[in-house]
């Protein structure tokens, strides 16, 4: 691992309170960036959602500044602050930051090297750009839900995680920001990143969509290799009611699976469409003879690409994640000690207990002073209600 965090020396202003943009700043902070959360002054506190203590890793390692961005003083203080940072992340609807006077053009005037990331549901342009939405909506319009499993009534099943917010939005923004930082290191120029969560879902679905565009297929549940068309890529129930995930795509893994399940009669029929259902029935009968954990411990090391479907309490206790520092603890000012998922890169967050800043006590004065505002200016802004 490097001697210092990967993003050490990078400062981020995060204007979001929930959703993909907050997930992005969470990753950036875990990788070493100094993230400053920009929140409203108390009289406008209701304009932002206040997530529960455990959400977004309790904003561990972040600082907070409170500004009234609708006031001249609050806007000017934000621009003074933005002149000293590397990245601004916002998730307002298109056009809002420009009306507030803190959009990309405003910030780049005082900081030509700024990386300005606007994260929205449908992007800054297009017929849906002004629409409200959440994770499920973006998974719906991007084809993800249609290709997923079905509920008993025949409709698409609700996903077990916020795939759009996390991967299509948060990680999409992180990748774009990191790429822009690399480009700036060469050109010295900043850029405005238009991150659309729906566009991110489109990218996540590219294997399926590109297959349709190339071969005029009709993707859907169990229509393709990765959605359960074949018996060797599916979920099976064990004797104890537990479940096992089987993903034996490569021929050698498929051969190992057939051998270990005593189903060798299917060795030469991996892609035989006529063999799919009888093969699935044989696999189901075999898995029903032993418990989930018996099969997982036997088949996991045997090059079969089989794993147990773990429930969340089991995930938290899992030895693999524990061995890689997958969890850490923070001390929250109101919730006490909280165990939570650590950084997505092993070793980027110390496994020792971290202190979460008391969000009711902002760091406004310290942050603005570091940006060059004098004590007199800070006092005047506070008296005017522009900061808190």
Count of beta carbons in the 10 Å neighbourhood of residue 149? 13
Strands 115-120 and 87-90: parallel
Query: Burial code of 19-28, b = ≥16 C-beta within 10 A, e = fewer?
Result: bbbbbbbbbb
Active site members: 134, 165
Write the pLDDT tens digit of every residue in 122-175: 999 999 999 999 999 999 999 999 999 888 888 999 999 999 999 999 999 999
Tokens of 310: 């773990």
Share of residues in the chain with pLDDT > 90 (%): 77
Where do the CATH 3.30.1540.10 domains begin and end in the chain?
Answer: 225-309
State mean pLDDT over 67-88. Answer: 97
What SS3 state is found at 88?
strand
Q: How far apart are CA 160 and CA 312, in angstroms?
A: 11
Q: Is the pLDDT of residue 114 over 60?
A: yes
Give the architecture (CATH level 2) of 225-309: 2-Layer Sandwich (3.30)
Where do the CATH 3.40.50.10540 domains begin and end in the chain?
Answer: 11-203+354-383
Residues 6+ apart with CB under 8 A from 144: 159, 163, 164, 201, 204, 205
Superfamily of domain 11-203+354-383: Crotonobetainyl-coa:carnitine coa-transferase; domain 1 (3.40.50.10540)
pLDDT bracket for residue 333 (50, 70, 90)? confident
- Provide long-range contacts, Cβ within 8 A and 24+ apart, for 71-74: 71/384, 71/385, 71/386, 72/386, 73/380, 73/381, 73/384, 73/386, 73/387, 74/41, 74/381, 74/386, 74/387
Of 25-29, 45-49, 103-107, 378-382, the range with the lowest mean pLDDT is 45-49
Q: How far apart are CA 6 and CA 323, in angstroms?
A: 22
Write the pLDDT tens digit of every residue in 363-387: 999 999 999 999 999 999 999 999 9
Q: How far apart are CA 267 and CA 285, in angstroms?
A: 17
Q: How far apart are CA 293 and CA 344, in angstroms?
A: 27
Between 48 and 11, name the one with better pLDDT: 11
What SS3 state is found at 135?
helix
Write the pLDDT tens digit of every residue in 187-220: 999 999 999 999 999 999 999 999 999 988 889 9
Element counts in the chain: helices (H) and strands (E): 17, 12
pTM above 0.85, yes or no: yes
Q: Can you say how many angstroms the Cα of residue 331 is from the centroid of all Cα atoms in its chain?
A: 23
Tokens of 100: 């507030």
Q: Is the pLDDT of residue 183 over 90?
A: yes
Of 3-7, 92-96, 195-199, 238-242, the range with the lowest mean pLDDT is 3-7
């Amino acid at each position: 691992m490097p001697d210092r965090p990967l993003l050490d020396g990078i400062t981020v202003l995060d204007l979001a309170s929930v959703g993909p943009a907050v997930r992005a700043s969470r990753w950036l902070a875990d990788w070493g960036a100094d993230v400053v959360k920009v929140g409203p002054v108390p009289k406008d506190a209701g304009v932002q959602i206040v997530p529960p203590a455990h959400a977004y890793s309790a904003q561990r390692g972040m600082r907070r500044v409170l500004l009234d961005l609708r006031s001249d003083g609050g806007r000017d203080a934000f621009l003074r602050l933005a002149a000293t940072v590397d990245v601004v992340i916002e998730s307002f609807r298109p056009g809002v930051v420009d009306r507030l006077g803190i959009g990309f053009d405003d910030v780049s005037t005082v900081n030509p090297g700024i990386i300005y990331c606007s994260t929205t549901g449908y992007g800054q342009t297009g017929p849906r750009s002004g629409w409200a939405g959440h994770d499920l909506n973006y998974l719906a319009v991007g084809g993800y839900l249609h290709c997923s499993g079905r509920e008993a009534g025949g409709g698409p099943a609700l996903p077990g995680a916020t795939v759009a917010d996390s991967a299509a939005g948060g990680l999409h923004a992180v990748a774009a920001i990191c790429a822009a930082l690399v480009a700036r290191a060469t050109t010295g120029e900043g850029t405005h990143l238009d991150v659309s969560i729906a566009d991110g879902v489109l990218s996540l679905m590219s294997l399926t969509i590109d297959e349709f565009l190339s071969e005029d297929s009709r993707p859907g549940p169990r229509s393709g290799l990765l959605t359960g068309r074949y018996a060797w890529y599916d979920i099976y129930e064990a004797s104890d009611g537990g479940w096992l995930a089987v993903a034996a795509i490569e021929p050698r893994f498929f051969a190992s699976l057939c051998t270990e399940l005593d189903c060798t009669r299917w060795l030469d029929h991996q892609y035989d469409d006529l063999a799919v259902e009888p093969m699935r029935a044989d696999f189901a009968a075999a898995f029903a003879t032993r418990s989930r954990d018996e099969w997982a411990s036997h088949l996991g090391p045997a090059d079969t690409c089989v794993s147990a479907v773990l429930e969340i309490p089991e995930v938290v206790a899992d030895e693999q994640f524990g061995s890689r520092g997958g969890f850490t603890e923070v001390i929250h000012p109101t919730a006490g000690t909280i165990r939570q998922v650590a950084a997505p890169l092993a070793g980027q967050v110390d496994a020792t207990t971290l202190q979460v800043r008391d969000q009711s006590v902002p760091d406004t004065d310290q942050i603005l002073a570091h940006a060059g505002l004098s004590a007199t200016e800070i006092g005047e802004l506070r008296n005017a209600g522009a900061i808190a």
